[in-house]
């Protein structure tokens, strides 16, 4: 899964409009050649992912997933996605305000790849996105452990 | 102890009395025997006398006859004979009496030989009289011969009687000598024995009277004890009951009735009579429990409700177990006590606890709201601030830029407050698992986390050899973060902070706030710095929530040290602060081993 295979497709599911705006602004300021799709809750995200038109080749590369969302929570989405082998190559980054151990533990067990605590500084946000996109996921997933799971900015 | 002594002494008295009685019986027997002997000898003496009398009579009759015969021979006047001669038959009663007396004492006396002599004498009387009457002219020599023979026989009779007299006299004399000695010795021995018996009796009596005094004293003590016991039962709201399994009889203490609101002994003590006072829902349960207990000899512990006479409902706890009494009978002994107040207190306490739990849960959710839900908008404010700061800051007026900087500072301060609040509420819960952890490892993590801070202030930190302790790791981590951040923050403006973290051995015993610490029980860990310090009088206040000593020149939330105290309390440890203003602060931690 390299940058050379078509455009890098990034998804963000977050019910907070401001956060979605910060995110897309950061992506555009980074001048990255990436496709970004935004979803305002878990249901919308799952509807998109499970749409029959979505081919395996179209499966996005990375999903930034907020936890606290109406209808379907981030944890629900995580479990549904990980239950579907079609999305086995999809990297999931939890993107939440919460830093509670309970949330970190549950998402780690649920199969998320990384846990990002939402930063309170725009420049930090840009750095996080840049770093996460550039991570060699193959390498990262092979050494799964709780310490590296929580992404430190 | 005392009763055992009395029991022993009563045994001694019994033995003494028994001995005295045996002695008296023995003396009586000896006396009886002696009296009998005395009676015998008196009787035999009177028999002797009577026999002598009879012998004298016989002898005198013979003499009278002889003289009348002689007179007749000399005078030839037969009237003498007719008047004074006693025929042989007249002696028969004397002989019969003599034989009777002689039968009792056969010693040295033969009635038959006397009879033979008397018969021979009467034959001679007859022959003398015959020859004197028939022929006065007969030659005198026949008569003389017969008279001489008569004299001989009379002498024989006299000799015989005198002989008997002498014998009897010596017999009586012998009796008297014998019995005088016996009587004398028996008087002495019986006097001695009576004295000894009396002495024993007197001693026993004395002992009995002193024992009686002791008994009386014991009895009084027992009565007082009983009185105290009854009163104590009344005051404590306790009563007791007994059930004898052999006699199948109950007995209740006075307060048993008082607990039901009745006068003592209002009804016969029995299960049936108590049942009507029990709450109807409890009766079957109580009866079943007691029946089961009596069958299986198992102790009981029950709580039931009973109605007093005035209708008040009381909660009674009843505990019973088995014991043997002094007669070896199995007895169930129980105690009933009124637990109504405790029961009601427990219920109200439980209700209070429930309320408290609800309040706690509400507080916790409030805490969550404060910490998480407030962080969300704050984070966005900070995000927008950073956006303006990056792109629009220069287009603001100078005043606008100043205001904007203050907004930014306030937002940061609020963020710090919220983070500390989250940490404090986490420390409050304190329901995390204890793990044996090397404190050096935790401190290393903390130093890593505070690296930027340390670098900024050029802080020097010395870490000694710390022990491995059973702790909640993330809380101890938080503790060191707060303590070190605190020391770095309150450093002197011109001096780089120098911080020491070390374990100190407790020498002997150390006392802080009336708590004694010994090396066997506690680890002592000291964090000291060369910062601005504080006045010792504030040593307790710095651990209070939102308490800040330095408001102006130092930033802070006033939660950090309160969290430290909470964490140490969660570990059943103690934290104290010592300081001298301008010299430095020292935090002393005692963690249980």
Cα A109 from Cα A115, distance rounded (Å) = 12
CA proximity to B51, closest of B161, B177, B154: B161
Any CB–CB contact under 8 A between A53 and chain B? no
Helix (H, G, I), strand (E, B) or coil at A3: coil
Predicted confidence at residue A57, as pLDDT, reads 61
CA–CA min distance B474, chain A (Å)? 11
pLDDT-based confidence at A1, cuts 50/70/90?
Answer: very low
Q: Which residue has the tokens 């001048």?
A: A31
Q: What is the pLDDT of residues B12-67, one digit of tens each?
A: 778 877 887 887 788 788 778 877 877 777 777 787 778 778 888 888 888 888 88
**Contact indicator for B459, B563 with CB cutoff of 8 Å:** no
Alpha helices in B300-397 (DSSP H): 340-368, 375-391
Residues 6 or more apart in contact with residue B194 via CB below 8 angstroms: B24, B27
Most B CBs within 10 A among A15, A28, A120, hence the mutation to make, goes to A120
Cα A96 from Cα A101, distance rounded (Å) = 12
Radius of gyration of chain A (CA): 14
CA proximity to B540, closest of B501, B485, B499, B579: B579
Q: Which residues of A are less than 8 Å from B387 in CB distance?
A: 122
Any CB–CB contact under 8 A between A122 and chain B? yes
* CB pairs < 8 Å spanning A and B: 30
Burial B90-117 (b: 16+ CB within 10 A, else e): ebeebbeebeebbeeeeeebebeebeeb
Cα B271 from Cα B287, distance rounded (Å) = 8
Phi and psi of B544, rounded to 5°?
-85, 150
CA–CA min distance A10, chain B (Å)? 22
Contact across the interface for A123 and B382, Cβ inside 8 Å? no
Q: What is the pLDDT of residues A85-132, one digit of tens each?
A: 888 888 899 998 877 778 888 888 888 888 998 998 899 999 998 888
Helix (H, G, I), strand (E, B) or coil at B577: strand
Neighbours of B271 (CB within 10 A): 14
Average pLDDT along chain B, 593 residues, taken 10 residues at a time:
63 80 82 78 77 82 81 76 76 78 60 79 79 64 78 82 78 75 75 82 85 91 90 86 89 87 86 88 90 90 88 89 87 90 91 91 78 83 91 90 90 84 73 82 89 88 90 87 90 88 86 82 90 84 76 71 88 89 89 88
Q: What is the dihedral of CA A138, A142, A147, A153, to 10 degrees?
A: -10
Any CB–CB contact under 8 A between A125 and chain B? yes
Stretch 6-45 of chain A: residues touching chain B, C-beta under 8 Å: 16, 18-19, 22
CA proximity to B415, closest of B376, B448, B446, B442: B376
Residues 6 or more apart in contact with residue B134 via CB below 8 angstroms: none
Chain A residue nearest residue B376, CA to CA: A97
CA proximity to B527, closest of B475, B488, B559: B488
Contact across the interface for B382 and A98, Cβ inside 8 Å? no
Cα B184 from Cα B256, distance rounded (Å) = 73
Domains, chain A: 8-48+58-149 (3.40.50.2300)
pLDDT at A64 over 50: yes
**Contact indicator for A72, A43 with CB cutoff of 8 Å:** yes
Contact across the interface for B387 and A18, Cβ inside 8 Å? no
pLDDT-based confidence at A41, cuts 50/70/90?
Answer: confident
Q: What percent of chain A stands above pLDDT 70?
A: 82
E-assigned strands of A5-113?
8-13, 34-39, 62-65, 91-96
Q: Which residues of B are less than 8 Å from A125 in CB distance?
A: 383
Helices (runs of H) and strands (runs of E) counted in chain B: 15, 14
Cα B501 from Cα B527, distance rounded (Å) = 5
Contact across the interface for A18 and B380, Cβ inside 8 Å? yes
Q: Among A100, A118, A123, select the one facing B379 at the smallest CB separation.
A: A118
DSSP B37-76: HHHHHHHHHHHHHHHHHHHHHHHHHHHHHHHHHHHHHHH-
CA–CA min distance A98, chain B (Å)? 7
* Helical pair B473-489 and B439-449, crossing angle rounded to 10 deg: 50
pLDDT-based confidence at A142, cuts 50/70/90?
Answer: very low
Chain B residue nearest residue A118, CA to CA: B379
Predicted confidence at residue B551, as pLDDT, reads 54
Helix (H, G, I), strand (E, B) or coil at B574: strand
Cα A60 from Cα A124, distance rounded (Å) = 24
Contact across the interface for B379 and A122, Cβ inside 8 Å? no
Contact across the interface for B375 and A97, Cβ inside 8 Å? yes
pLDDT at A152 over 50: yes
Cα B90 from Cα B125, distance rounded (Å) = 15
Contact across the interface for A122 and B415, Cβ inside 8 Å? no
What is the DSSP-derived secondary structure letter of residue A150? B
CA–CA min distance A121, chain B (Å)? 5
Domains, chain B: 2-209 (1.20.120.1730), 237-338 (3.30.450.20), 430-592 (3.30.565.10)
Chain A residue nearest residue B382, CA to CA: A120
Contact across the interface for B386 and A121, Cβ inside 8 Å? yes
What is the DSSP-derived secondary structure letter of residue B433? P
């Amino acid at each position: 899964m390299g940058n050379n295979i078509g455009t890098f497709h990034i998804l963000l599911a977050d019910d907070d409009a401001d956060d979605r705006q910060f995110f897309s602004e950061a992506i555009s300021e980074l001048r990255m050649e990436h496709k970004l799709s935004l979803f305002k809750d878990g249901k919308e995200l799952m509807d998109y992912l499970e749409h029959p038109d979505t081919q395996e080749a179209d499966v996005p590369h990375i999903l930034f997933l907020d936890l606290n969302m109406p209808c379907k929570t981030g944890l629900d989405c995580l479990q549904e996605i990980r239950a579907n082998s079609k999305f086995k190559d999809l990297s999931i980054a939890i993107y939440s305000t919460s830093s509670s151990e309970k949330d970190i533990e549950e998402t780690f067990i649920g199969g998320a790849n990384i846990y990002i605590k939402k930063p309170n500084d725009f420049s930090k946000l840009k750095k996080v996105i840049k770093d996460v996109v550039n991570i060699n996921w193959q390498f990262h997933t092979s050494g799964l452990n709780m310490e590296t799971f929580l992404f430190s900015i | 102890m005392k009763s055992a002594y009395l029991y022993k002494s009563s045994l001694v008295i019994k033995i003494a009395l028994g001995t005295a009685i045996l002695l008296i019986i023995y003396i009586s027997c000896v006396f009886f025997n002696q009296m009998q002997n005395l009676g015998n000898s008196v009787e035999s003496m009177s028999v002797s006398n009577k026999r002598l009398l009879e012998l004298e009579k016989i002898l005198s009759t013979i003499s009278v006859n002889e003289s009348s015969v002689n007179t007749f021979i000399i005078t030839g006047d037969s009237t003498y004979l007719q008047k004074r001669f006693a025929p042989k038959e007249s002696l028969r009663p004397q002989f019969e009496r003599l034989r009777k007396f002689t039968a009792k004492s056969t010693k040295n006396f033969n009635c038959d030989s006397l009879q033979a002599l008397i018969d021979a004498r009467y034959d001679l009387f007859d022959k003398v009289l015959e020859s004197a009457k028939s022929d006065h002219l007969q030659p005198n020599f026949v008569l003389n011969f017969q008279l001489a023979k008569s004299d001989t026989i009379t002498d024989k009779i006299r000799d015989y009687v005198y002989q008997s007299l002498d014998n009897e006299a010596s017999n009586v004399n012998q009796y008297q000598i014998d019995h005088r000695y016996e009587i004398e010795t028996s008087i002495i021995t019986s006097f001695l024995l009576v004295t000894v018996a009396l002495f024993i009796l007197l001693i026993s009596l004395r002992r009995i009277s002193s024992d009686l005094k002791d008994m009386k004293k014991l009895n009084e003590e027992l009565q007082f004890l009983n009185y105290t016991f009854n009163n104590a039962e009344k005051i404590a709201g306790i009563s007791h009951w007994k059930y004898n399994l052999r006699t199948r009889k109950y007995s209740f203490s006075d307060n048993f009735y008082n607990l039901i609101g009745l006068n003592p002994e209002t009804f016969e003590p029995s299960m049936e009579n108590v049942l009507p006072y029990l709450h109807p829902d409890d009766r079957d349960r109580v009866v079943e429990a007691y029946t089961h207990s009596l069958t299986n000899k198992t102790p009981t512990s029950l709580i039931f409700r009973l109605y007093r006479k005035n209708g008040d409902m009381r909660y009674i706890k009843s505990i019973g177990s088995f014991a043997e009494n002094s007669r070896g009978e199995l007895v169930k002994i129980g105690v009933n006590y009124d637990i109504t107040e405790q029961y009601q207190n427990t219920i109200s306490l439980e209700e209070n606890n429930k309320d408290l739990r609800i309040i706690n849960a509400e507080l916790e959710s409030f805490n969550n709201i404060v910490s998480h839900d407030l962080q969300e908008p704050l984070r966005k404010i900070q995000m927008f601030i950073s956006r303006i700061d990056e792109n629009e800051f220069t287009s603001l007026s100078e005043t606008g830029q100043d205001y904007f900087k203050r907004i930014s500072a306030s937002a940061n301060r609020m963020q710090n407050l919220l983070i500390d609040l989250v940490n404090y509420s986490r420390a409050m819960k304190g329901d995390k698992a204890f793990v044996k952890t090397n404190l050096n490892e935790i401190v290393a993590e903390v130093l890593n986390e505070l690296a930027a801070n340390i670098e900024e202030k050029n802080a020097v930190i010395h870490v000694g050899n710390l022990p491995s302790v059973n702790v909640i790791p993330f809380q101890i981590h938080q503790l060191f973060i707060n303590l070190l951040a605190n020391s770095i923050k309150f450093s002197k403006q011109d001096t780089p902070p120098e911080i020491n973290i070390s374990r100190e051995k407790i020498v002997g015993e150390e006392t802080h706030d009336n708590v004694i610490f010994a090396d066997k029980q506690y680890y002592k860990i000291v964090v000291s710095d060369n910062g601005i310090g504080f006045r010792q009088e504030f040593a307790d206040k710095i651990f209070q929530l939102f308490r800040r000593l330095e408001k102006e020149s130092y930033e802070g939330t006033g939660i950090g040290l309160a969290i430290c105290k909470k964490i140490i309390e969660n570990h059943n440890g103690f934290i104290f602060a010592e300081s001298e203003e301008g010299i430095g602060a020292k935090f002393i931690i005692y963690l249980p081993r």
